[in-house]
Amino acid sequence: MTSKIRMTMILILCTLLFLISTLLLLSIGDIHLGFGQVISVLLGTSQDYTANFVVWQLRLPNLLAALITGGALAVSGLILQVTTHNPLADSSILGINAGASLGAVILTAISLSNDLLPVAALIGALISCGLVKLANRNGSPIQVLLGGVALTAIMNGLILILELRLNQFSFDKALIWLSGSFWNLDLGYLMINGLASLLLLLLVMALLPTLGTLTLGETMARGIGVNVKRGQQWLLLVAVGLATVAVAVGGAMSFVGLMAPNIAKRLVGERVNLLLPVSWLLGTSLMMLADVVANNAFGKVALPVGLIVAVVTMPYFIIQLFSWQREA
Amino acid sequence: MNWWQRHLVGILIVGLIVVATLNVLGGSRWYELSALWQPMHSLLGKVIWTMRVPRLLASVMVGALLAMSGLLLQTVSHNPIADPSILGINAGANLALIVGGVLGVGMSIFNTVWLSLVGAGLAFLVVMSLAMSRHGIAPLRLILGGTVFSGFISCISYAISVMTNTTEQYRNLLVGGFSSSTYGQVVLLAIVLVIVIVTAACFQSGLTLLAMDATSTRGLGVSTGILWSIAASLIVLATAASVAVGGNIGFVGLGIPQLIQAIRPGSFKQNVWVTLLGGSVFMTTADLIAKATVPGVELPMAALSALFGGCLLFMMVVFDRRVIQV
């Protein structure tokens, strides 16, 4: 009973964190709005023209982008960690993000329209996922991680060459795909990607029982009568899809998919029906807060969100690496 | 031993001469071989002697230094996949250069060198202390921790340069290359190279012994502490000088020693000079590719070396059993 109360408390706290991050993102900026104003705008009761304009036109796109990228990365990281039994797995260290970025960059190099960008990113992500699976032949977690590091290096090299060949001076654009930034805040584009991520999240919900059995370990799962291979493959595909959506919106953000599920696991344990929502809430909150900091903490300049995310998540990865080694 | 294993040094020297000649003649415009005999004061002679030759010399020496520091690092860390760029030394030197630039330190050759030395040294200390466990250096921590740490430092460098509106400088460091090499830089590299070569030659037997596990080394009566610090300072010195001149060029230190090792397996002592030559040949070739493949465009050197080294690393991780035994 006490554990049930604890879980409820954690869920409530995470939701609170999520709501506060949302309000912060919507209220802080060059034009400062109060929480009350934001809430009344959201409820549709505000008559203030500026407040309405700021919230709906200026800050909603950022909110959507943060929700899509943060949520998709966190859930994809959770799936990767469970299916590979590797607490350090996540789409950025495995090179999936870099693959998706490379796909996107190749598309922008050969065509002028961005319509097919998510498709190109998906192809890139699938290719790098296949290559990582090659590194996973022996099932050694270390091998997979190192393979991912190598892949990331190769793909980032290609991205740099392609982007600089396009235009020696469009260096900042190359960095979107190397370190992550909300580069396209067009509402239509965000809506399409949001819809895709929503569908994928629903698919994850449908696969939740399989994911739950996989936390028990493969032998146990097989014993219960789960088709482990098929389930893993489906889940992996969904994870790659989610990472692709995140990259299409925000470029190659690092380690959100590592950090959110890991903290969630510490809070609620191994139960996936709790892990999933808590990871999502934490991932999105992280992304929204990073957006707030990136846009407001440095005076007149706005930093790319990816940098703030990296500065937070990379030390977390190193800490996590140590505790993992100690257990192993 | 095959004949080409026995004559590897000779082959590499011939290769270096050929590639060096091509490097001087090639570029956005190719010259005839006779251009080398043109008098100094003619336009052609000026291009050759004030632009192309220093560039060639810089790439030869940076290649040698990076390969050397990679080999040293692999020897002392008992780990085939160590590289200065994986360990954040490059990124540390970069960060120091950016911070120096922002603080208004003039970018004279002397200043760039001590800045990158300080940065490289600090980053090296951080990564090593991260990697130290009770059983010596833990290879996995060294590599993964180092990679992520160097990513972290690069992000900070980028953030600083965005805030202070100096992304141009960050770009130059990240992209790397030798397009603006001068004779001043060449002299600097030559001094560092001589220091590194002489020290390595003096201590080559000791450094070879470091490759064994710590207990055997100590059992032989070698003072590991001193050798360790010598190796570490050589690594930092070589990498810092390379970054100061050529920017953030990674993976050469990984790739060249491993290739040489694959062609001719041997200890540090047996392979160190071949590795040095191999690094030079590689870097000169890469520089030629960077400036001559697409006319009018300089391909980013950092990306070229990452492509080569990343592919090699991936191959090693997937197909080489040694890597997994950590």
Tell me phi and psi for residue B133, to 5 degrees: -125, -175
**For residue B136, what pLDDT band results from cuts at 50, 70 and 90?**
low
Residue A283 vs residue A87, higher pLDDT: A283
- Is B158 part of the contact surface with chain A (CB cutoff 8 Å)? yes
Residue A201 and residue A71 in contact, taking contact as beta carbons nearer than 8 Å: yes
For the beta carbon of residue A268, count every other beta carbon within 10 angstroms. 22
- CB neighbour list of residue B211: distance below 8 Å, 6 or more residues apart: B75, B76, B78, B267, B268
d(Cα B136, Cα B26) in Å, to the nearest integer? 48
| B250 Cβ under 8 Å from any chain A Cβ | yes
- Among B236, B250, B197, B199, which Cα is nearest to B117's? B236
Distant-in-sequence, close-in-space partners of B267: CB < 8 Å, separation ≥ 6: B208, B211
CA distances for A159 relative to B38, B166, B176, angstroms: 40, 22, 15
What's the rounded Cα separation, in Å, for the pair B24 and B56? 7
Distance separating alpha carbons of residues B306 and B319, to the nearest angstrom: 19
Radius of gyration of chain B (CA): 20
3-state class (DSSP) for residue B104: coil
Residue B227 has a pLDDT of 84
> How is residue B93 written in tokens?
């030197």
- Burial code (b: 16+ CB inside 10 Å, e: under 16) for B77-116 equals bbbbbbbbbbbbbbbbbbbbbbbbbeeeeeeeeeebbebb
- Among A140, A147, A313, A81, smallest CA distance to B144 is for A147
Residues 61-100 of B with CB under 8 A from A: 81
Which residues, 6+ apart, have CB-to-CB distance to B224 below 8 Å?
B210, B214, B217, B218
Across the interface, do B250 and A154 touch by the CB < 8 Å criterion? no
Q: Note the pLDDT tens digit of each residue in A123-137.
A: 999 999 999 888 877
Is there a contact between B86 and B146 (Cβ–Cβ < 8 Å)? yes
The type of residue at B321 is R
The listed CATH number (1.20.58.220, 1.10.3470.10, 3.40.50.300, 1.20.1050.140) that belongs to domain A69-327: 1.10.3470.10
Contact B260, B314 (CB under 8 A): no
pLDDT at A166 over 70: no
Q: How far is CA B14 from the centre of its chain?
A: 22
Q: Is B318 on the interface with A (CB under 8 A)?
A: yes
Calculate mean pLDDT across residues B110-127: 88
Query: Which member of B151, B299, B323 has the closest CB to residue A254?
Result: B151
Residue B243 CA to residue A317 CA, distance in Å, equals 27
C-beta atoms of B149 and A160 within 8 A = no
Rounded to a whole number of angstroms, the distance from the CA of A135 to the nearest CA of chain B is 5
Strand segments, DSSP code E, in chain B are 132-133, 136-137
Which of B133, B155, B300 has the CB atom closest to A179's CB atom? B155
| Interface probe with A: pick from B79, B102, B127, B147, most Cβ of A within 10 Å | B147
Residues B273-317: pLDDT tens digits?
999 999 999 999 999 988 888 777 788 888 888 888 888 888 888
pLDDT tens per residue across span B250-269? 788 888 888 888 888 888 88
| Number of inter-chain CB pairs under 8 A, A vs B | 133
Cβ proximity of A88 and A317 under 8 Å: yes
CA distance A201 to A262: 19
Residue reference for tokens 């008559």? A47
Query: Cβ–Cβ of B304/A157 closer than 8 Å?
Result: yes
Nearest beta carbon to residue B143 from set A137, A146, A175:
A146
B301 min Cα distance to partner chain A (Å): 9
A44: left (phi over 0), alpha (psi -120 to 50) or beta: left
Residues 6+ apart with CB under 8 A from B326: A142, B79, B138, B139, B140
- Is B302 at the interface with chain A, CB within 8 A? yes
Distance, in Å, from the CA atom of A124 to the CA atom of A122, rounded to the nearest integer, reads 5
Task: Please give the single-letter amino acid code of residue B269.
Answer: K
Per-residue confidence (pLDDT) for residue A256, from 0 to 100: 92
Measured distance CA(B148)–CA(B130) in Å, rounded: 12
Write the CB contacts of B20 (distance below 8 Å, at least 6 apart in sequence): B56, B60, B284
Q: Name the pTM for this structure.
A: 0.87
End-to-end, the C-alpha distance of chain A in Å comes to: 33
DSSP B324: G
CB contact under 8 A, B324 and A134: no
- Determine whether the interchain pair A311/B302 forms a contact, defined as Cβ–Cβ distance below 8 Å: no
Band (pLDDT 50/70/90 cuts) for residue B323 is low
Across all residues in chain B, what is the average pLDDT? 83
Percentage of chain B surpassing pLDDT 70? 94
Q: What is the pLDDT of residue A11?
A: 93
- What pLDDT was estimated at residue A325? 65
Q: Which residues of B touch A296 (CB under 8 A)?
A: none
Q: Tell me what pLDDT residue A164 has.
A: 77
State whether A179 and B311 contact (CB < 8 Å).
no
Distance between first and last Cα of chain B:
30
d(CA B97, CA B157): 9
**Are the beta carbons of B260 and B271 closer than 8 angstroms?**
yes
State whether B138 and A325 contact (CB < 8 Å).
yes
Does any CB of chain A come closer than 8 Å to the CB of residue B323?
Answer: yes
Lookup: tokens for B115: 């800045």
Task: Tell me the C-alpha to C-alpha distance, in Å, between residue A324 and each of A271, A279, B141.
Answer: 20, 20, 10
Residue A147: list chain B partners with CB under 8 A: 314, 317-318
User: Between chains, do B294 and A315 touch, taking CB under 8 Å as contact?
Assistant: no
* Cβ–Cβ gap A318/B306 under 8 Å: no
Q: What is the DSSP letter of A254?
A: -
**Which residues lie below 8 Å from residue B47, measured CB to CB, with a gap of 6+?**
none
For the question of an ipTM over 0.90, the answer is: no
Interchain pair B318, A137: CB under 8 A = yes
Half-sphere exposure of residue A183: CA atoms within 13 angstroms, side-chain side: 24
Domain ranges of chain A: 69-327
Task: Classify residue B132 by its DSSP letter.
Answer: E
Query: How many percent of chain A have pLDDT more than 70?
Result: 96
Beta strands in B67-220 (DSSP E): 132-133, 136-137
Question: Whole-number mean pLDDT of chain A?
Answer: 87
The alpha carbon of residue A292 is apart from the nearest alpha carbon of chain B, in Å, by 15
Interface of B with A in 201-230 (CB under 8 A): none
Could you say which of B302, B310, B318 has the minimum Cβ distance to residue A135? B318
| Distance of residue B43 Cα from the nearest chain A Cα, in angstroms | 28
Domains of chain B: 3-324 (1.10.3470.10)
pLDDT of residue B182: 86
**Chain B residues 109-148 within an 8 A CB cutoff of chain A:** 130, 133, 138, 140-141, 143-145, 147-148
Q: Is the pLDDT of residue B169 over 80?
A: no
Name the one residue in this structure whose structure tokens are 């998706």.
A100
Assign A169 a pLDDT band (cuts: 50, 70, 90): low
Greater confidence (A25 vs B228) lies with A25
Q: Which of B148, B171, B251 sits opposite A153 (nearest CB)?
A: B251
| Closest alpha carbon to A68 in A206, A180, A190 | A190
Assign B133 to helix, strand or coil.
strand
Query: Measured between CB atoms, which of B133, B163, B303 is closest to A160?
Result: B303
- Reported as type and span, the H/E element at residue A74 is helix A60-84
Interface contact flag, B148 A164, Cβ < 8 Å: no
- DSSP helix/strand/coil, A45: coil
Which residue in A has a C-alpha nearest to residue B295's C-alpha? Answer: A165
Confidence of residue A168 (pLDDT cuts 50, 70, 90): low
Distance in Å, alpha carbon of B29 to nearest chain A alpha carbon: 18
Of B148, B250, B313, the CB nearest to A317: B148
DSSP string, A142-200: HHHHHHHHHHHHHHHHHHHHHHHHH-TTTHHHHHHHHH-------HHHHHHHHHHHHHH
Interface with chain A: mutation pick from B148, B149, B293, highest number of A CBs within 10 Å: B148
Q: Would you place residue A13 in the very low, low, confident or very high pLDDT band (cuts 50, 70, 90)?
A: very high
Q: What is the distance of C-alpha A39 from the center of its chain?
A: 27
Cross-chain Cβ contact B133/A171 below 8 Å: no
Q: Tell me how crowded residue B223 is: count the other CB atoms within 10 A of its CB.
A: 10
C-beta separation of B249 from B242 below 8 A: yes
Question: Are the Cβ atoms of B163 and A175 closer than 8 angstroms?
Answer: no
Q: Which amino acid is at A196?
A: A
